[in-house]
Amino acid sequence: MGSVYNCNYDTKLLDNSSSSIEYAAELIRRGEVVGMPTETVYGLAANALDPQAVSRIFTAKGRPQDNPLIVHIADMDMIDRLVRELPQNAVSCAERFWPGPLTMILPKRDIIPEVTSAGLPTAGIRMPSNKTARALIRTAGVPLAAPSANLSGSPSPTKAEHVFKDMNGRIPCILDDGGCAVGVESTVIAFEGDSIRLLRPGFISAEELREVCDDVIIDKGVVEAVANDAVVASPGMKYKHYAPKADITIIDAPLDDLRRWCAENTAPDDVLMVFCESDGEGLGRKCICYGHDSTEQARQLFDVLRGLDDKGIKRVFARCPEKTGVGLAVYNRLLRAAGFQVIKL
């Protein structure tokens, strides 16, 4: 097992057996970065408390240094040494949604190095529900910093093959746990007095958060473009994420209007991204289905976006997802993939 960092690894795709987890945990204890499955998307995991290990994540991913990482824990016992205080709303959210796809921004202790939090006084903390992730954290014995395991700017990886494609040669191993159950990254929230601010929508929806706290504010960065020099609550909002090479435009319209518009305004080579086959029937355009409901769309979106590039598709018109429940997360990701190009009919 090599321990010297380089960018020329013979990247191993491992199963999720206990011996593979043990192997990956040993690499993490030595300061390496490994590909880790979670219920949301695959992550690039390293010891969150080791600045050198964390800086290797930034190198492997090509990530801007001012974008902080989420710290993953396996048990509530781990949280006290990481954060200075837990607001009551955070305790309620932890009870209700952890383990699961929710990240809470909390005041950090000094034990979390600056490189992990990108110099912020806070850290994003998440307790994943994926069994392999939990076993890896416990076996490594340290909290794991992990961003999504894509090259910066590419769609997040929801399969081990996606991680391999982006990270081959850049990390020593990837634990393969099949397709991610959720498919979009965790919901990110911050606490402001008695309010919860939603910074990134995910599988845990605004509606569900409202069952815990009366005052849930949806940050305007969730559905609007943020200027590059803007001061934002979450640095990740600034970056053009999830960008496939294809030029995507969202068509925000009832299905009949969308069909009429596509018949009149699209060219034969254009591709329609629709919910199901019948949406595009009779239009004479190639259709790619990304799921008949929001949950399925969340699970498939990134795989579909990656597929557009693999197929060399140039121009795509996408049916707009629902903007409620997990649909808001699908809309938020698709908006970024589309560079905020929306035609509202």
Residues that bind ligand TXA (CB under 6 A): 38, 40-41, 43, 67-70, 101, 103, 105, 117, 120, 122-124, 126, 146-148, 185-186, 188, 200, 234-236
Residue 235 is given by DSSP the state G
Q: Whole-number minimum distance, CB 132 to ligand TXA, in Å? A: 12
Q: Whole-number minimum distance, CB 311 to ligand TXA, in Å? A: 25
Counting residues that bind Mg ion (by CB under 5 A) gives 1
Q: Whole-number minimum distance, CB 133 to ligand TXA, in Å? A: 8
162/319 with CB nearer ligand TXA = 162
* Residue 148 binding Mg ion, by CB under 5 A: yes
Q: Which residue has 């990108």 as its token pair? A: 118
Peptide bond connecting 172 to the previous residue in cis, omega within 30 degrees of 0: no
Q: Quick check: 236 and 63 in contact, CB under 8 A? A: no
Work out what residue 158 binds among ligand TXA, Mg ion, none; the CB cut-off runs from 5 to 8 Å by kind. Answer: none
AA letter at 267:
A
Q: In the window 194-213, what residues touch Mg ion (CB under 5 A)?
A: none
AA letter at 115:
V
Q: Which residue has 């597929």 as its token pair? A: 307
Work out what residue 123 binds among ligand TXA, Mg ion, none; the CB cut-off runs from 5 to 8 Å by kind. Answer: ligand TXA
Q: Whole-number minimum distance, CB 212 to ligand TXA, in Å? A: 19
Q: Whole-number minimum distance, CB 156 to Mg ion, in Å? A: 5
Work out what residue 67 binds among Mg ion, ligand TXA, none; the CB cut-off runs from 5 to 8 Å by kind. Answer: ligand TXA
* Polymer length of the chain: 345
Q: Are strands 122-126 and 43-47 parallel, antiparallel or unpaired?
A: unpaired
How far apart CA 295 and CA 64 sit, in angstroms, is 30
Work out what residue 146 binds among ligand TXA, Mg ion, none; the CB cut-off runs from 5 to 8 Å by kind. Answer: ligand TXA
159/259 with CB nearer Mg ion = 159
Q: Which of 126-134, 148-156, 294-302, 329-337 is the region at the interface with Mg ion (rule: CB under 5 A)?
A: 148-156
Q: Which residue has 């018949």 as its token pair? A: 263
Q: Which of 135-143, 147-155, 203-211, 259-267 is the region at the interface with Mg ion (rule: CB under 5 A)?
A: 147-155
Q: Quick check: 182 and 40 in contact, CB under 8 A? A: yes
How far apart CA 316 and CA 337 sit, in angstroms, is 11
C-alpha count within 13 angstroms, C-beta hemisphere, residue 7:
9
How far apart CA 48 and CA 69 sit, in angstroms, is 9
Q: Which of 56-64, 142-150, 222-230, 253-261 is the region at the interface with Mg ion (rule: CB under 5 A)?
A: 142-150
Work out what residue 107 binds among ligand TXA, Mg ion, none; the CB cut-off runs from 5 to 8 Å by kind. Answer: none
- For the record, the structure tokens of 90 come out as 């955070």
User: 217: which strand partners?
Assistant: 197
Q: Whole-number minimum distance, CB 200 to Mg ion, in Å? A: 10
Q: Whole-number minimum distance, CB 101 to Mg ion, in Å? A: 13
* Angle (nearest 5°) at CA 335 between 71 and 310: 85
Binding residues (CB under 5 A) for Mg ion: these are: 148
